[in-house]
């Protein structure tokens, strides 16, 4: 089918949005796609979430850049849906709207003390060291020893690793310079990585867990007593990963490196209170056991002193006027939200999976869209009308060519092997487009 008269708006330029764009161009040749992002920079989580020392993962932007450069695709950066244009207006202007907003709000711990200074959600903490302009001013106080990272997923591992690496180990990264300086100057005390369930239930993937065992200044410490003989009755597809995790943890338990810092891996430890009066001083944990797959408290508690707490317990999609919500995601049935409105990625299914997971997921939604739009006449006003509306409202739209100038300036500011020095603020990014 060809679709020369169709125009589609994609809200969000992260992986799920750009995999959808790629699919739309293939399924609906001739379609015009406008990719709208609230930041002047594209690529969503690849730029703002993927760890700065995982440059191999970030290389996917080359593929996404090719998609953005294709005939019929435009980038409208620095345009915030909900501020510069509403979802309802986009519905009126485009034949279809794809919501690829991601999940950019921290889940709350829901325990006393979580709003004390020194407690950060991983969205803001990761955003800070990744140079996300929303968090340039976070300025976490790292001067006191002891850091607790709550959660047993890959984001928790990322946070531990970035806190533990030396400047030399972070040379080949695009960590925000201010964050690098603050982390290196900060207290170099022990780090506690806490999971509310056991080693087999941890959500880590082996490659990421294994990285903790190769740090020059820190080493993971695991109490062998908590490690079971085998992984037990787990889903067949997950079994090899769980077994590999267990093998790595056994290696950590047997390890005796002389690195000065320790990353204590605490299992069966659910946080029940953040301790402190004016700022965080520690975390109270309750020991847990498994009941029907869930962590339940045993009543026994213990405290860990800490000057910094980062909770890495998952994210939710922030509500946006015009979109129905269902818990932490946009309410949808296989990606269909409402006639002409679709959701993909974390906004559709919640914060799970790696970047490639989004490809199949977005392409499945594109298949539904192609079926729904098969008889669409097209003819909605599309991008020209959005341009007029944004101009009327004085929006400063950043094009893909503008982004390429920002990109080139960031790369030019770096010294080998550092791949780029990110601009800290939107104002600096915009100045680079002049």
Residue with smaller CB distance to ligand NAP, 131 or 153: 153
Q: Of 276 and 314, which has the nearer Cβ to ligand NAP?
A: 314
Nearest-approach distance from CB 293 to ligand NAP, in angstroms: 9
Least separation in angstroms between residue 111's CB and ligand NAP is 8
Shortest distance, CB of residue 271 to ligand NAP, whole angstroms? 6
Contacts of 323 (CB under 8 A, 6+ apart): 87, 99, 330, 331, 337, 341
Is residue 346 left, alpha or beta, with left meaning phi > 0 and alpha meaning psi from -120 to 50?
alpha
CB closer to ligand NAP out of 196 and 242: 196
Q: Smaller CB distance to ligand NAP: residue 205 or 259?
A: 205
Residue 417: CB minimum distance to ligand NAP, A: 20
Tell me which H or E stretch contains 420: none
Q: Is the distance from CB of 76 to CB of 37 less than 8 angstroms?
A: yes
> Is 295 in contact with 288 (CB distance < 8 Å)?
yes
Q: How far apart are CA 387 and CA 79, in angstroms?
A: 11
Give the residue with the Cβ less far from ligand NAP, 23 or 195. 195
Helical pair 122-129 and 177-185, crossing angle rounded to 10 deg: 110
- Closer residue to ligand NAP, CB minimum distance, 122 or 332: 122
**Burial class, 228, CB count within 10 angstroms (exposed 0-12 / middle 13-18 / buried 19+):** exposed
Centroid of chain to Cα 33: 24
Task: Please report how close the Cβ of residue 93 comes to ligand NAP at its closest, in angstroms.
Answer: 33
Closer to ligand NAP by CB, 354 or 425: give it: 354
CB of 352 to ligand NAP, least distance (A): 4
- Tell me the two tokens of residue 20: 């959808």
CA distances from 416 to 129, 172, 180, 184, 300 (A): 19, 8, 16, 20, 51
Burial of 134 (0-12, 13-18, 19+ CB in 10 A): middle
- Cβ-proximal residues to 138 (8 Å cutoff; 6+ apart), any chain: 120, 124, 125, 127, 128
Are 244 and 208 contacting, i.e. CB atoms less than 8 angstroms apart?
Answer: no
Locate 280 and state its tokens. Answer: 């965080």
Provide the minimum distance between the beta carbon of 314 and ligand NAP in the complex, in angstroms, as a whole number. Answer: 5
Rounded least distance, CB 330 to ligand NAP, Å: 17
Distance of CA 99 to the CA centre of its chain: 16
Q: Which structure tokens are listed for 111?
A: 């325990």
Residue with Cβ nearer ligand NAP (124 or 205): 205
Closest residue to ligand NAP using C-beta atoms: 153
196 or 420: whose CB is closer to ligand NAP?
196
Residues that bind ligand NAP (CB under 6 A): 109, 150-156, 158, 195-197, 201, 203, 205, 208, 270-271, 295, 312-314, 351-354
Pairing of strands 325-326, 329-330: antiparallel
Closer by beta carbon to ligand NAP, 151 or else 322? 151
Sheet holding 269-275, edge to edge: 269-275, 282-291, 294-305
């Amino acid at each position: 089918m060809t679709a020369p008269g169709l125009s589609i708006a994609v809200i969000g330029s992260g992986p799920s949005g750009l995999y959808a764009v790629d699919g739309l161009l293939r399924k609906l040749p001739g379609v015009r796609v406008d990719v709208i992002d609230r930041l002047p920079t594209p690529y969503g989580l690849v730029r703002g979430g993927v760890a700065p020392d995982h440059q191999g993962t970030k290389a996917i932007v080359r593929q996404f850049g090719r998609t953005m450069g294709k005939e019929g695709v435009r980038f409208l950066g620095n345009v915030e849906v909900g501020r510069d244009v509403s979802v309802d207006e986009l519905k009126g202007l485009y034949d279809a709207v794809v919501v690829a907003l991601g999940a950019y709000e921290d889940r709350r711990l829901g325990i006393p003390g979580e709003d004390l200074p020194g407690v950060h959600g991983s969205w803001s903490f990761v955003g800070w060291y990744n140079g996300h302009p929303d968090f340039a001013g976070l300025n976490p106080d790292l001067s006191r020893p002891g850091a607790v990272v709550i959660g047993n997923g890959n984001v928790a591992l990322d946070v531990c690793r970035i806190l533990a690496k030396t400047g030399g180990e972070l040379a080949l990264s695009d960590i925000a310079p201010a964050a690098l300086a603050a982390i290196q100057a900060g207290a170099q005390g022990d780090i506690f990585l806490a999971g509310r369930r056991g080693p087999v239930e941890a959500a880590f993937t082996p490659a990421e867990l294994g990285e903790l065992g190769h740090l020059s200044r820190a080493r993971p410490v695991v109490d062998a007593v908590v490690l079971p003989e085998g992984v037990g009755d787990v889903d067949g597809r997950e079994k090899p990963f769980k077994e590999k995790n267990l093998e790595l943890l056994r290696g950590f338990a047997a390890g005796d490196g002389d690195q000065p810092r320790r990353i204590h891996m605490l299992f069966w430890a659910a946080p029940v209170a953040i301790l402190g009066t004016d700022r965080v001083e520690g975390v109270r944990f309750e020991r847990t056991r498994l009941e029907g797959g869930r962590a339940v408290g045993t009543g026994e508690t213990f405290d860990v002193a800490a000057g910094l707490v980062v909770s890495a317990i998952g994210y939710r999609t922030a509500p946006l006027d015009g979109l129905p919500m269902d818990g932490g995601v946009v309410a949808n049935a296989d990606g269909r939200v409402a006639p002409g409105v679709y959701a993909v990625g974390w906004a559709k299914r919640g914060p799970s999976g790696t970047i490639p997971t989004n490809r199949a997921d977005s392409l499945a939604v594109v298949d539904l869209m192609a079926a729904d739009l098969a008889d669409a006449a097209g003819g909605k006003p599309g991008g020209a009308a959005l341009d007029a509306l944004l101009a009327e409202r004085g929006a400063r739209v950043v094009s893909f060519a503008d982004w390429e100038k920002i990109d080139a300036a960031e790369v030019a500011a770096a010294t080998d092997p550092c791949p780029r020095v990110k601009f800290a603020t939107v104002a600096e990014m915009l100045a680079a487009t002049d």
